[in-house]
Amino acid sequence: MLPRLRIRRRVVAGRHVFRLEGDLDGSTACHALDVVARAPWDGRGLEIDLSAVRLAEGFGLEILSRGLSRLARQRSVYIVDVGGPWPLGALAVPSLGSAGAR
């Protein structure tokens, strides 16, 4: 059986880029966060590329965004899509400690 979500990591322009390919749901979002959280602490930011996500469940997106918000406390985090039904371009993820968060 093929994995429902494949994660490819590379370093581009001073960022660790994680390209998610496949389906994003609660289970696969947790797996993606585990992989992203293990990126080396070398001063580089994190970029999450969703352009190859085929199916995204709301719960998976919520888990991913909350987890990335926690990671954004220590480093820059961007969610990117280079084409598809998502908003185009990069979206910076605010940390949970920013103004308005409780």
Q: Which domains does the chain have, with CATH numbers?
A: 5-92 (3.30.750.24)
Summarize pLDDT for 1-29 with one digit per residue, the tens. 457 999 999 999 889 999 999 999 999 99
68 DSSP 8-state letter = H
Residues 6+ apart with CB under 8 A from 50: 20, 24, 56, 79, 80, 81, 84, 86
Summarize pLDDT for 28-62 with one digit per residue, the tens: 999 999 999 999 999 899 999 999 999 889 899 99
71: pLDDT strictly greater than 50? yes
Q: How far apart are CA 66 and CA 88, in angstroms?
A: 21
Q: Judge contact between 91 and 80, C-beta under 8 A.
A: yes
Position 81 confidence tier, pLDDT thresholds 50, 70, 90? confident
pLDDT confidence bin for 94, thresholds 50/70/90: low
